[in-house]
Structure 1
């Protein structure tokens, strides 16, 4: 106190300390700053009382409001679950072929199906659903479908799979091996005729005759395929196993036939419906068509 003095230029008292000739002014804090500081103290006291604050041995103080971040998260999760449950209930009620009539519900189904696809399907069909010619996994983005590409057909294929033992509803087709059935010239002629369907080669009478005798019953006279049998279309530019001459010859002599697991029983019916909606939305999906088999219109159960 004895060293305190009034600083002449500012008229403010010093604090009485000196360091190498340097003195400190005892300038009062601004009143607004002091009141802000007092308010923060009051706020902190109120916060400690109202909210969880002090850690203890096995828990923390709960606060008089009873709020916690875990409780808030549980409420948000419950609300999200309830919203999903509502959508799932709507999806369970609507026939899949009528799903496109409800735009918002279709969007919800596609979003849910995308998540299911990432978990269950990308291992074979790829993250972009482009498949693999080398491994025989179909590209789901195009409009070439062995068994039908409408929502109902896709759902059926997902549910029962392809060539699944023990499921009498599974999609199943068999192409017989022709190894040893043709000599080299006949095999080349048949390959030319198959490639001619898509304009990749010139056909010849020998290949056309061999095709008519051995292949047309399943693949059609013009290579149009037959979805009822799961026989691929041969007159377009889409090939499951490749369109080179060697790939086609290999498929004629020793056919490679793929397999897809059945998802019925592994995925619930609503998830299957959402997955079908997602696959249908990738770009190659077809409209559902009701087939009139007699004067009374009947729905084709297996397109």
Structure 2
């Protein structure tokens, strides 16, 4: 092939020496800038392999002379951010949750921190806007099963609801009346419950339901149906329903009962994050200003009265 090389007259460039069907290829040299870039890339690649993790091994890769990694960089950034937040974090750790709302600067800082934590840990059930859904409470209104002041919200977040592995969890138990009342009696109780919130007018059926309610339900929901927070019994007069306020949903609740649960966060999140979450939920619109003894601690499950009468 070398013997077939020649200088192409029109271009003055040597050919590569092979020919196909009368077509020859010119051996045009690469542009100098391209050759320079090519060698720079080779040198850069060698430098990268020497300085950074690059060569795969059985249990990882070569660390490189600089021992750099994206995880290490993230860890450094996280440490720097932790140091930056340390003054606020330490202050939030030191202040009792009962006094947090009285310190405007710390309270606002806690709200912003809680807003970020809520998006990570709570939106899956309560929604991005905290409006909840069927079976998951709306945290924007002023209707609370266990209390809506800061200590009560903080306790609920810390210890959860109906967590069998935790003695301090909030606990309540509504019996399933399907085995206690017959179908007609359940219909009557549902009719009466609907009158409590103005969803239905009193009737002969609801009058029967009122008696059944007094005998079977008032011990937890109260004689007026406004609920009792020490038992986690909802207010039936405000028209706010966790599982639905139509007749069919109420009948299902009476017949089968409900047993919603909420995880306790004291085994997943640090105390400051829980305190920030409490501040954020408290700020959503339904937070209450004062604590009451009934919401300061969880009720003893042994004291939850059902007073079920056949």
Q: Quick check: TM above 0.5?
A: yes
Aligned partners of 2:234, 2:138: CA distance in 1, in Å?
13
Instruction: Give 1:147 shift.
Output: 0.6
* Preserved CA contact (<8 Å) 1:193 1:207: yes
* Preserved CA contact (<8 Å) 1:97 1:288: no
Q: How does 1:255-270 map to 2 (within 5 A)?
A: 255-270=257-272
Aligned partners of 1:146, 1:102: CA distance in 2, in Å?
27
Instruction: Give 1:246 shift.
Output: 0.1
Compared with structure 1, are the counterparts of its residues 251 and 86 closer, same or farther at alpha carbon in structure 2 (3 Å cutoff)?
Answer: same
SS in 2 for 1:223: coil
Instruction: Give 1:187 shift.
Output: 2.0
Structure 1 stretches of 4+ with a deviation exceeding 3 A read 73-80, 299-303
Question: In the alignment, which residue of structure 1 is the partner of 2:192?
Answer: 193
Q: How does 1:47-126 map to 2 (within 5 A)?
A: 57=47, 58=50, 80-126=81-127
Compared with structure 1, are the counterparts of its residues 252 and 270 closer, same or farther at alpha carbon in structure 2 (3 Å cutoff)?
Answer: same
Does 2:167 match 1:168? yes
Aligned partners of 1:283, 1:178: CA distance in 2, in Å?
35
SS in 1 for 2:131: coil
1:224-253 deviations in whole A, cap 9, x for unaligned? 100001111100011000001000000000
Over the aligned positions, Cα root-mean-square deviation in angstroms equals: 2.6
Aligned partners of 2:108, 2:171: CA distance in 1, in Å?
31
Question: In the alignment, which residue of structure 1 is the partner of 2:253?
Answer: 251
Compared with structure 1, are the counterparts of its residues 77 and 259 closer, same or farther at alpha carbon in structure 2 (3 Å cutoff)?
Answer: closer
Question: In the alignment, which residue of structure 2 is the partner of 1:36?
Answer: none
Aligned partners of 1:229, 1:268: CA distance in 2, in Å?
28
Instruction: Give 1:260 shift.
Output: 0.8
Tell me which protein shows more helix as a share of its residues: 2
Compared with structure 1, are the counterparts of its residues 261 and 105 closer, same or farther at alpha carbon in structure 2 (3 Å cutoff)?
Answer: same
SS in 1 for 2:177: coil
Q: How does 1:1-303 map to 2 (within 5 A)?
A: 57=47, 58=50, 80-133=81-134, 136-203=135-202, 204-289=206-291, 300-301=296-297
Instruction: Give 1:289 shift.
Output: 2.8
Compared with structure 1, are the counterparts of its residues 76 and 254 closer, same or farther at alpha carbon in structure 2 (3 Å cutoff)?
Answer: closer
Aligned partners of 1:222, 1:78: CA distance in 2, in Å?
55
Compared with structure 1, are the counterparts of its residues 179 and 290 closer, same or farther at alpha carbon in structure 2 (3 Å cutoff)?
Answer: closer
**Unmatched tracts of structure 2, length 5 or more:** 1-42, 53-69, 300-310
Compared with structure 1, are the counterparts of its residues 148 and 265 closer, same or farther at alpha carbon in structure 2 (3 Å cutoff)?
Answer: same
Aligned partners of 1:106, 1:160: CA distance in 2, in Å?
22
Quick check: 77-86 or 260-269, which moved more?
Answer: 77-86
Aligned partners of 2:261, 2:77: CA distance in 1, in Å?
41
Aligned partners of 1:196, 1:287: CA distance in 2, in Å?
30
